[in-house]
Amino acid sequence: MDKKKFIKSLFEKGKKAGFVEMEVYMTSIMKQDMNYYDNDVESFENSLSEGVSFRGLYNKKMGHSYSEKIDESSIDMLVNEAMGNAKVLDNDDIDTIFAGSKEYKDILTYNKLSEKITVKEKIEFLKDMEKTGYELDRRVKAITYNMINDKTNSIMIANTKGLNLKYKSNFYKYAINVDVEENEDIKSAYRYELSNDFTKLDGHKLVNNVINEAVSMLGATSIQSGKYPVILNSYVSAGILDAFAAIFSANKVQKNMSPLEGKLGEQIADTKVTIVDDPFMKDGAFTKPFDAEGVATKYKKIVNKGILNTYLHNMKTANKDNTQSTGNAYKASFNLPIDIAPTNMYIEIGKKSYDELIKSTNRGLLIIDVQGLHSGLNPISGDFSVSAYGYEIIDGRINRPVNQITISANYIELLKDIEDIGNDLKFIAPHNGYVGSPSIKVKSLSVAGE
Amino acid sequence: MLSKVVVEDVLTAAMSTGGDFAEIFAEDKDDTDMILIGGKLEKSISGKIYGIGIRIFKGFNYVYAYTNDSSKNNLVRVAKEAASAIKGVKKDIVLDFNRGIVNNIHPIRIMPESVSKRQKVDLMKTAYESAKNYDPLISQVKVQYLDNTQNVLIANTEGKLVEDQRTRTRLLIQSVASKDGMIQSGLHFPGALKGYEYYDDIDVKAYAEDSARMAKTMLMAEYCPSGRMPVIINNGFGGVIFHEACAHGLEARCIAKKASVFSDKLGQKIASELVTAIDDGTIPNEWGSSNIDDEGNATRKNVLIENGVLKNYMIDKFNGRRMNKEATGSGRRESYRYAPTSRMTNTYIAEGKSTLDEIIAETEYGLFAKYLGGGSVNPATSEFNFAVREGYIIKNGKIDRPVRGATLIGKGAEVLEKIDMVGNNLDFGQGICGSTSGGVPVNVGQPTIRVSEMTVGGRDSDR
């Protein structure tokens, strides 16, 4: 069904049912994923999916509903469900439908060149990587994932206040998982490259790095429990920041579910730490001109030289705090309610290179991967305890691989305990926000091992 | 959902380039999600998930495509486009559907859609009040109510044409306790393959109060000491240890590529003799159950390990090809957006003989993990990790004190050998397991078990 007609009909029926203001949020996601295994394309997935989310003010309450069946038959369901949902809400929040920001930044979110990349090119790329991987090191036992994900996302918002916005973005992820084996010791490593430009994916470098990493972990053992100076490499630091992103959400703060409650304007991190949210970042997976409520996005320093500058707001939380939305309204999917998330958020780089950070460490640990970030942390208290591996550093040099350990801390305490920041900013796969960090050195972390 | 004629045309189009198997998975699912925070209903959202996935095999390769547009023209177009990725010679196919009657062993008494939203909100408020009033230290309570009814139609070129309906409901109750800037939380999340009758079967108030008790206990707890020690893992959700540490490595997805430590080990002893482990998708109305899996096969009770010996893997159709084995009713997916793969249903360690009291009394020093959080595993090495939601230190056979912030890490293959006591109190816990075919509802389960030695990650030293 024609989308314009669908929206018109939906708004008409909604108005008749008693909705005062209404909005639709539509997404269209095109995906093409392929995995290459054992000299052949093992899986090839191709899809286009569309979803519509409807919300409207009914007796001053915002009712929500959604459907993936975008045709006349869904309109009554959308209106009735949204009304039913509005009727049971009893919060005091003031919800609004937004008429639009004064201006929206004209930014590039979509790489048109991506349309020229053929399936054949991608297959050749993966074939080359598999071959390269097996040739690089005889200890490579299996390349279990060798995969390109290609995703194009289109978002459209239209409402009865006259707002009509859309943008399109695209992203590639090339991921590889390698198992290596020596003397019955098996180690595996998984890494990926991200870009909205296929030609910028440096597969050879990635394959090389991932195999080196897996091989370097062969023979790893645990280490004595205790407190150690620890370098978290950029991926690990970004992963932990990503997992704790919700602590900056005004929604969590207002619900007494953030350790940063009441800390606005206070020193919450070492003065070396500046955390930026930049929706205009070039090549950012979350680069966008407007947020899920249609509010223009903006650049901001969440933490500036250690001081908490702002929480991340949508219109509802901003209204409650008597401030402006920061343009961080977010819908993880069309079928989820509006929440808050960063856009492209990262810790600003410091001066030392990765190698210099290692050199400046007398005795300590370099952590290159952690597992269990989805379960081993508490975003309400800031406590975390996760499984980790990496290397022992002695006299400024990598001494030996270490695994079967956990690292534990409170993230807020960790931010205050940062001794040095590297200049190697890296981003992890986009999730609810596109989050990055350079490697960071922390004075002391609890490490559990032997 | 789709007529036989449409199914035939789509499957024929899917086979038009020489594929050797094709399948349609059509889904129509109604979802309800409500969140109550601080006693007020903050969010209520509901709607429809609707789409069709088409899968084509040729040898050890597959193509998958999906769409939301179920018109015949579109489906045939999508099937042809998917088929274009298969290079082969068209074979004539004859489709002779054997419309399977699905034997419903999971009856639903009260469809959630027949219950008003208001009534669901009242249930959430009951949970809220019970948790909030438990103790003045409880500073916040969040209650989430979820229900969904998923209708599926699965048809394939082997003549299968089946339909099934799955209704699930779930309640999550999170209590937050705080004092002097310290915050801890407690959580319960019971769920079942049931309708609204579930809330007559369980004691919502008791779950709510216990989540508050857990938050308060952890607020008063010290940090957990680190090191290697015996660990007692309680029954119910404690079964997540077997789920992570072992059972993921028994999924055909890893086994087919020999990417699991348990590859090529059928018939071998891989665990302590005390361990018998089962994956059973047929347990009536349990959270991880269903009449048929997402490939249209009846679910089964699969004995994975019997008295320590590896008996079987969990196998889906595609990976079964590489392994040259039949599927075991284990093909699952979150939705039509995912090609199915081998997944767990209700996975548990069978009961042993010890009582909980005996297990504690026979432990001189160790950690009692009363409730575990989630975790993850690397199947290639079987290295796992998970969080302890509520823990206690045991000294001289008695519970000494509560501890917070603990993590358990280790290798599944080693832990299985080190299980030295198995209790007689089997219970289940509910989870959403995330993997390559999305998040699927699974039960984890076990009686209380003791592992003679594990690495406990904490923050302080003890002893």
Chain segment B35-90, per-residue pLDDT in tens: 999 999 999 999 999 999 999 999 999 999 999 999 999 999 999 999 998 887 77
- Tell me which residue in A68, A91, A448 faces B51 most closely, judged by beta carbons: A68
Do A406 and B385 make contact, defined as CB atoms within 8 angstroms? Answer: yes
Q: Is A304 on the interface with B (CB under 8 A)?
A: no
Please state, in angstroms and rounded to a whole number, the distance separating the CA atoms of residues A315 and A325.
Answer: 5
Q: Is the pLDDT of residue B239 over 80?
A: yes
**Per-residue pLDDT, B461:** 52
Residues of B in contact with A86 (CB under 8 A): 44
Q: Is A337 on the interface with B (CB under 8 A)?
A: yes
CA nearest B179 in A: which residue?
Answer: A381
Burial status of residue B98 (CB atoms within 10 A of its CB: 0-12, 13-18, 19 or more): exposed
Give dist(CA B69, CA A26) in Å, integer. Answer: 15
CB B192 within 8 A of CB B284: no
Residues 6+ apart with CB under 8 A from B403: B221, B222, B223, B224, B225, B367, B391, B392, B393, B458
Q: Is A77 on the interface with B (CB under 8 A)?
A: yes
Q: Which residue of B has its CA nearest to A387?
A: B385
Q: What is the pLDDT of residues B125-156, one digit of tens each?
A: 999 999 999 999 999 999 999 999 999 999 99
Distance CA B207, CA B209 (A): 6
Chain B contact for A396, CB < 8 A? Answer: no
Q: How much is the pLDDT for B460?
A: 63
Write out pLDDT tens, residues B404-461: 888 898 888 899 999 999 999 999 999 999 889 999 999 999 999 999 999 898 776 5
Cβ pairs A/B, distance under 8 A: 238
**Contact in structure between A397 and A248 (CB atoms under 8 Å):** no
Give the closest-approach CA distance of B110 to chain A in angstroms: 19
As for the ipTM of the complex, it is: 0.90
**Which residues in chain A touch residue B457, judged by CB atoms under 8 angstroms apart?**
385-387, 405-408, 448
Mutate to test the interface with A, among B35, B46, B125 (most CBs of A within 10 A): B46
Beta strands (DSSP E) in B38-110 are: 40-58, 61-67, 98-99
Helix (H) or strand (E) holding A193: strand A185-195
- Per-residue pLDDT tens digits for B102-112: 889 999 999 99
Contacts of A52 (CB under 8 A, 6+ apart): A6, A24, A25, A26, A66, A67, A68, A70, A74, A78, A334
CA distance B385 to B409: 4
Who among B37, B121, B406 is closest to A385 (CB)? Answer: B406
Structure tokens at A26: 């539509």
For residue B299, give both structure tokens. 């679910």
Residue B421: predicted pLDDT: 97
pLDDT the model gives residue A165: 96
Whether residue B47 and residue A335 make contact (CB cut-off 8 A), yes or no, is yes
- Give residue B72's pLDDT: 95
- With 70 as the cut, is the pLDDT of residue B277 above it? yes
Task: Please tell me the number of Cα atoms within 13 Å of B417 on its side-chain side.
Answer: 7
Q: Beta strand pairing status for A22-37 and A140-159?
A: antiparallel
Q: For the segment B368-414, what is each residue's pLDDT rounded down to a tens digit?
A: 999 998 777 887 888 888 889 999 999 999 999 999 888 898 888 89
pLDDT mean for each 10 residues of chain A (450 residues): 90 97 96 93 92 96 95 94 96 88 94 90 96 96 94 96 96 96 93 93 96 97 92 97 97 92 96 98 94 97 98 96 96 92 98 96 96 82 90 97 92 96 96 96 91
- Smallest Cβ–Cβ distance between B457 and the set A93, A374, A406 belongs to A406
Contact A376 B407 (CB under 8 A): yes
H-assigned helices in A217-247: 234-243
The pLDDT score that the predictor gives to residue A366 is: 98
Chain B residues inside the 8 Å CB shell of A335 = 31, 45, 47, 49
Residue-wise pLDDT for A42-79, tens only, equals 999 999 999 999 999 999 999 999 999 998 889 999 99
Bridge-based pairing state of the strands A397-410 and A440-448: antiparallel
Q: Does A114 touch chain B (CB under 8 A)?
A: no
Does A2 lie at the interface with B, CB-CB under 8 angstroms? no
Q: Is A28 on the interface with B (CB under 8 A)?
A: no
Residue B71, chain A, CB below 8 Å: the answer is: no
Which residues on A lie below 8 Å from B14 (Cβ)? Answer: none
Does pLDDT of B463 surpass 50?
no
Rg from Cα positions in chain B? 24
Q: Secondary structure of chain B: what % helix, strand, coil (to 5)?
A: 20, 45, 35
Q: Determine, for residues A67 and B50 on separate chains, whether the beta-carbon distance falls below 8 Å.
A: yes
Write down the pLDDT at residue A450.
81
**Average confidence score pLDDT of chain A:** 94
CA distances for A67 relative to A17, A85, B47, B428, angstroms = 19, 15, 5, 33
Query: What does the radius of gyration of chain A's CA atoms come to, in whole angstroms?
Result: 24
